[in-house]
């Protein structure tokens, strides 16, 4: 499907030809997101945010147009690679945006690296893609898996939690998130008393895993689940009645604004960490939430914000580069702005985003879940981790 977005009427000075004549260009964006499978809902949020970002930031791009071509990655690496190749080789997109799953990003990395077409990652946190497998063609505006979880180990140990049980889906993101937490938690004196990695696709019953975690008698359980898996896990954890003895913590996708209303009372008492929480009190976030809620009658989630900021990043780079491909890529790698999540910048050493991480709690009050920020860890930046570009 193609969507044509006509952007505004004013003409940017950098896009004028010598004689003062406007030089218009059609930028083709290939949007690769899961619209089916375990992460289907997440793809819809990212796409909605991306379109809103184009409206907000692309309004003064003059006679230029941005055309979107979209494809369903199904959160499956093989299908995603085939669709990425089609977008680059056949559709000839100028830039790719998307991918939710770390496994999908890992599977398309070599093709993107060799193709010369830049990819703006709007979710997938795979650490290696801005570490040892980094590429000048891959710029991430969302988060890395370790960036979200690394700050939580020490924070939780400070709250008096001495032992933890880990649980996450059995794929790259699950393992990387748990490893990052484990490292800082054990460095702060904590002990991991057990871990479990249920399959990503198709796990309907977390009962046996919850029973095993309970038997290990930890002070807390620390998890990563997202999308449909997060809804099911949080509800089943609540139904098992374990939370009063073993409080539930995790990477904040566990109780995302995208679906915390569906979890309802089951989310009560959960504490989590994320790069965006709707409760952030800034004019940038208010502008985003007001517009997103007016358009979709839903709260904008971290997934929508990643799409919104991806559009901001791309439009900013178009304005700075005036149509030159190398200048466009260089501008992506040096981007910096304030968005709904607060200040963010791309670290040119890794092409990963540098941003705040928020610790927040969920409370079920008057029939709805209220998310309150407990702590902000500012300016969290990944080490190069083997990246050399
Ligand atoms: C990932 O696979 O990187 C991922 C998927 C959903 C939410 C967060 C991370």
pLDDT tens profile 234-279? 999 999 999 999 999 999 999 999 999 999 999 999 999 999 999 9
Measuring from atom 2 of ligand 1, which residue has the nearest CA?
A: 101
Element (H, E) at 4: strand 2-6
- Per-residue pLDDT band for 24 (boundaries 50, 70, 90) equals low
List, for residues 99-150, the tens digit of each pLDDT value.
Answer: 999 999 999 999 999 999 999 999 999 999 999 999 999 999 999 999 999 9
At 379, list the tokens. Answer: 């300016």
Instruction: Please tell me the distance between residue 101's alpha carbon and the centre of ligand 1 in angstroms.
Output: 5
Alpha-carbon distances of 53 from 114, 155, 267, 322, 387, rounded to whole Å: 28, 33, 30, 19, 30
List, for residues 317-365, the tens digit of each pLDDT value.
Answer: 999 998 889 999 999 999 999 999 999 999 999 999 999 999 999 999 9
List, for residues 163-217, the tens digit of each pLDDT value.
Answer: 999 999 999 999 999 999 999 999 999 999 999 999 998 899 999 999 999 999 9
At 338, list the tokens. Answer: 């304030």
- 155 has pLDDT over 70: yes
List, for residues 56-107, the tens digit of each pLDDT value.
Answer: 999 888 888 999 999 999 999 999 999 999 999 999 999 999 999 999 999 9
At 117, list the tokens. Answer: 């077409």
What's the CA gap between 231 and 228, in Å, rounded? 5
- 22 has pLDDT over 90: no
What's the CA gap between 349 and 129, in Å, rounded? 12
**What burial class does residue 155 get, using C-beta atoms within 10 Å of its C-beta: 0-12 exposed, 13-18 middle, 19+ buried?**
buried
- 37 has pLDDT over 90: no
Instruction: Please tell me the distance between residue 173's alpha carbon and the centre of ligand 1 in angstroms.
Output: 6
Measuring from atom 7 of ligand 1, which residue has the nearest CA?
A: 226
**Pocket lining: 129 vs ligand 1, CB cutoff 6 Å:** no
**Pocket lining: 146 vs ligand 1, CB cutoff 6 Å:** no
What would the DSSP string read from start to end of 208-275? HHHHHHHHT--SEEEE---HHHHHHHHHHHHHTT-TTTS-EEEEGGGG-TTTHHHHGGGGTT-EEEES
CB 92 within 8 A of CB 26: no
Count Cα atoms within 13 angstroms, Cβ side, for 46: 28
- 19 has pLDDT over 60: no
Alpha-carbon distances of 224 from 148, 231, 234, 241, 366, rounded to whole Å: 11, 12, 11, 19, 27
Mean pLDDT of the chain: 93
Instruction: Please tell me the distance between residue 253's alpha carbon and the centre of ligand 1 in angstroms.
Output: 8
Pocket mutation for ligand 1, best pick of 125, 227, 254, 352 (most atoms within 8 Å of C-beta): 125
**Pocket lining: 226 vs ligand 1, CB cutoff 6 Å:** yes
CB 11 within 8 A of CB 61: no
- Give the pLDDT of residue 201: 86
**Pocket lining: 315 vs ligand 1, CB cutoff 6 Å:** no
Residue 196 CA to chain centroid, in angstroms?
A: 23
**Pocket lining: 102 vs ligand 1, CB cutoff 6 Å:** yes
At 135, list the tokens. Answer: 């590429």
Domains of the chain plus CATH, in order, are 24-143+282-351 (3.40.50.2300), 146-274+356-380 (3.40.50.2300)
- Per-residue pLDDT band for 16 (boundaries 50, 70, 90) equals very low
Q: Which residues contact 114 (CB under 8 A, 6 or more apart)?
A: none
Instruction: Please tell me the distance between residue 123's alpha carbon and the centre of ligand 1 in angstroms.
Output: 6
Instruction: Please tell me the distance between residue 338's alpha carbon and the centre of ligand 1 in angstroms.
Output: 23
Three-class secondary structure assignment of 127-185: HHHHCCCCCCCEEECCCCHHHHHHHHHHHHHHCCCCEEEEECCCCHHHHHHHHHHHHHH
Please give the model's pTM, rounded to 2 decimal places.
0.94
**Pocket lining: 118 vs ligand 1, CB cutoff 6 Å:** no
**Pocket lining: 253 vs ligand 1, CB cutoff 6 Å:** yes
Alpha-carbon distances of 133 from 93, 96, 119, 161, rounded to whole Å: 23, 18, 14, 35
Residues recorded for the chain: 389
**Pocket lining: 125 vs ligand 1, CB cutoff 6 Å:** yes
- Give the pLDDT of residue 267: 98
Percent of the chain beyond pLDDT 70?
Answer: 94
Instruction: Please tell me the distance between residue 242's alpha carbon and the centre of ligand 1 in angstroms.
Output: 26
- Per-residue pLDDT band for 17 (boundaries 50, 70, 90) equals very low
CB 74 within 8 A of CB 37: yes
List, for residues 269-311, the tens digit of each pLDDT value.
Answer: 999 999 999 999 999 999 999 999 999 999 999 999 999 999 9
Measuring from atom 5 of ligand 1, which residue has the nearest CA?
A: 101
Q: Which atom of ligand 1 is nearest to the CA of 101?
A: 2
**Pocket lining: 173 vs ligand 1, CB cutoff 6 Å:** yes
Instruction: Please tell me the distance between residue 3's alpha carbon and the centre of ligand 1 in angstroms.
Output: 26
**Pocket lining: 73 vs ligand 1, CB cutoff 6 Å:** no
Q: Give the relative orientation of helices 227-239 and 207-215 as an angle to the nearest 10 degrees.
A: 60
**Pocket lining: 15 vs ligand 1, CB cutoff 6 Å:** no
């Amino acid at each position: 499907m193609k969507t044509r977005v006509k952007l505004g009427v004013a003409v940017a000075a950098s896009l004028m030809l010598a004689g003062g004549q406007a030089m218009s260009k059609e930028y083709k964006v290939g949007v690769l997101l899961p619209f089916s499978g375990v992460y289907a809902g997440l793809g819809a949020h990212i796409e909605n945010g991306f379109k809103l970002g184009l409206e907000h930031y692309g309004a003064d791009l003059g006679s230029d147009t941005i055309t979107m071509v979209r494809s369903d990655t199904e959160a499956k690496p093989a299908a995603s690679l085939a669709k990425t190749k089609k977008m680059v080789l056949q559709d000839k997109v100028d830039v790719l945006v998307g991918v939710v799953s770390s496994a999908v990003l890992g599977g398309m990395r070599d093709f993107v690296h060799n193709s010369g077409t830049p990819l703006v990652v709007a979710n997938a946190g795979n650490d290696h893609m801005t570490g040892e497998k980094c590429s000048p063609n891959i710029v991430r505006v969302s988060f890395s898996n370790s960036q979200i979880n690394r700050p939580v180990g020490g924070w939780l140990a400070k709250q008096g939690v001495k032992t933890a049980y880990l649980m996450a889906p059995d794929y790259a993101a699950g393992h990387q998130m748990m490893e990052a937490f484990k490292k800082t938690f054990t460095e702060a004196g904590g002990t991991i008393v057990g871990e479990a990695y249920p399959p990503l696709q198709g796990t309907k019953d977390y009962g046996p895993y919850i029973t095993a975690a309970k038997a290990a008698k930890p002070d807390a359980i620390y998890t990563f689940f997202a999308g449909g898996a997060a809804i099911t896990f949080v509800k089943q954890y609540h139904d098992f009645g374990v939370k009063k003895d073993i409080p539930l913590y995790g990477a904040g996708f566990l109780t995302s604004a995208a679906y915390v209303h569906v979890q309802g009372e089951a989310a009560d008492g959960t504490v989590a960490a994320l790069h965006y929480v709707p409760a952030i009190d800034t004019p940038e976030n208010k502008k985003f939430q007001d517009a997103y809620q007016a358009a979709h009658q839903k709260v904008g989630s971290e997934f929508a914000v990643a799409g919104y900021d991806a559009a901001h990043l791309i439009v900013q780079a178009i304005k700075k580069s005036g149509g030159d491909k190398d200048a466009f890529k260089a501008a992506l790698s040096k981007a910096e702005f304030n968005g709904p999540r607060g200040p963010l910048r791309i670290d040119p050493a890794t092409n990963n985003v540098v941003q705040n991480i928020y610790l927040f709690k969920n409370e079920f009050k008057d029939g709805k879940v209220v998310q309150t920020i407990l702590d902000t860890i500012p300016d969290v930046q990944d080490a190069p981790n083997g990246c050399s570009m």
